[in-house]
């Protein structure tokens, strides 16, 4: 081996050793990861926090959980601005609007804070290191199939959604409408927006029941839509005749499911979303970004009145208490 070759080998070896030391130091550091939910009081996001907290404990990460009392950019953006001043090592966020949250997330990117979206997302995904969500289009299609099956593929159906501009519920509505085209004897007669209020969902469904005597099914795209629609159907005496299919599996919904007021729930995996958000952030921070997929879609679980007590289904139902 000549002198030049020896020198090259020594340089390469020194560089590899340096990189190994840097990676070991990165993995030894205690990182702070901020998790900002869409709303802090919702069992979906509470269940997400439980999954994130378990993964953070496993990895030795400090987890900050901070969210607003309502699902809106107006409450979420000030929280993001306050957290930015603390400069967490990474941000995991469920954006409350797919366009309004772009600029606040740009501020994190400018501060070199890697950002991952969970559940909901933004339209400019170039700002994100990863996106984690359930397959909402497929979930909407599954809801359409459940209503069609229960109604022998005949009759009128309606959608009770939250409001336009939320990536997840927009996708659920799109999947539902697309799938309904497969049933020529069924018609989607209305789409109402309840602004995340079960009271409004109840009132909207009552009006639909009065206006459309051939209504056979209602798709509630989130927990409040489903709860309000289910209670309206029950109050009207149409339980068993108008099938309500909802999204998520919060305690109140599960109770209505077991009673047959809601006949089917499309259940997400928020605990897994939270755990993956923390894991992906940790991988990025410790030099393993190559392990992190740009997009991860999780499968949904279909719960019905008939299988709600099956432990293999019930284990996916959401919790209402935060992990300590």
**Along the 324 residues of the chain, how does pLDDT read in single tens digits?**
554 444 444 444 444 444 444 455 555 689 999 999 999 999 999 999 999 999 999 999 999 999 999 999 999 999 999 999 999 999 999 999 999 999 999 999 999 999 999 999 999 999 999 999 999 999 999 999 999 999 999 999 999 999 999 999 999 999 999 999 999 999 999 999 999 999 999 999 999 999 999 999 999 999 999 999 999 999 999 999 999 999 999 999 999 999 999 999 999 999 999 999 999 999 999 999 999 999 999 999 999 999 999 999 999 999 999 886
Residue 49: which CATH number? 3.40.50.2300
In a domain, 3, yes or no: no
| Domain boundary residue, one of 222, 249, 267 | 267
Same domain, 223 and 100: no
- Between CA 258 and CA 265, with CA 261 as vertex, the angle to 5 degrees is 65
Q: Domain range for residue 158? A: 136-267
- The residues, ordered by sequence, that sit 6+ positions from 144 with a Cβ below 8 Å of its Cβ are 157, 175, 176, 177, 179, 180, 182, 183, 219
In a domain, 309, yes or no: no
Tell me what pLDDT residue 25 has. 52
Alpha carbons 131 and 125: distance in angstroms, whole number: 8
Same domain, 151 and 240: yes
Alpha carbons 129 and 109: distance in angstroms, whole number: 10
Q: In total, how many domains does the chain have?
A: 2
Same domain, 41 and 186: no
Same domain, 231 and 141: yes
In a domain, 285, yes or no: yes
| Domain boundary residue, one of 223, 249, 267 | 267
Same domain, 28 and 122: yes
Alpha carbons 230 and 227: distance in angstroms, whole number: 5
What DSSP assignment string belongs to 262-285? S-EEEE--HHHHHHHHHHHHHHHH
In a domain, 157, yes or no: yes
Same domain, 151 and 196: yes
Tell me what pLDDT residue 28 has. 62
In a domain, 116, yes or no: yes
In a domain, 319, yes or no: no
- The residues, ordered by sequence, that sit 6+ positions from 62 with a Cβ below 8 Å of its Cβ are 30, 31, 32, 33, 56
Same domain, 125 and 273: yes
3-state secondary structure of 60: coil
| Domain boundary residue, one of 247, 267, 287 | 267
In a domain, 8, yes or no: no
Tell me what pLDDT residue 9 has. 44
β partners of residue 243:
217
Give the residue among 100, 111, 116, 107 at the shortest CA–CA distance from 52. 116
């Amino acid at each position: 081996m000549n002198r030049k070759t020896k020198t090259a080998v020594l340089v390469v070896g020194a560089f590899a050793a340096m990189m190994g030391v840097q990676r070991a130091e990165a993995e030894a550091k205690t990182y702070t990861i901020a998790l900002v939910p869409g709303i802090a009081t919702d069992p979906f996001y509470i269940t997400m926090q439980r999954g994130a907290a378990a993964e953070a404990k496993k990895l030795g990460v400090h987890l900050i959980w901070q969210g607003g009392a309502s699902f809106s950019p107006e409450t979420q953006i000030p929280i993001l601005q306050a957290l930015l001043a603390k400069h967490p090592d990474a941000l995991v966020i469920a954006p409350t609007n797919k366009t309004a949250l772009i600029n606040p997330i740009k501020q994190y990117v400018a501060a070199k804070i890697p950002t991952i979206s969970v559940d909901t997302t933004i339209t400019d995904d170039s700002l994100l290191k990863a996106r984690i969500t359930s397959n909402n289009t497929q979930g909407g299609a599954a809801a359409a199939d459940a209503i069609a099956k229960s109604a022998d593929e005949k009759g009128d159906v309606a959608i009770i959604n939250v409001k336009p501009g939320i990536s997840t519920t927009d996708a659920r509505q799109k999947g539902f409408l697309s799938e309904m085209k497969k049933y020529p004897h069924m018609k989607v007669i209305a789409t109402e927006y309840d602004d995340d209020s079960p009271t409004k969902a109840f009132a909207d469904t009552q009006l639909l029941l009065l206006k459309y005597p051939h209504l056979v099914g209602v798709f509630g795209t989130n927990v409040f839509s489903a709860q309000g629609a289910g209670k309206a159907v029950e109050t009207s005496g149409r339980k068993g005749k108008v099938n309500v299919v909802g999204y998520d599996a919060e305690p109140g919904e599960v109770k209505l499911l077991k009673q047959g007021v809601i006949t089917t729930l499309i259940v997400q995996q928020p605990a897994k979303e939270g755990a993956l958000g923390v894991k992906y952030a940790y991988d990025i921070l410790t030099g393993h970004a190559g392990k992190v997929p740009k997009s991860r879609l999780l499968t949904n679980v279909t719960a019905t009145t008939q299988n709600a007590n099956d432990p293999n289904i019930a284990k996916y139902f959401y919790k209402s208490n935060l992990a300590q």
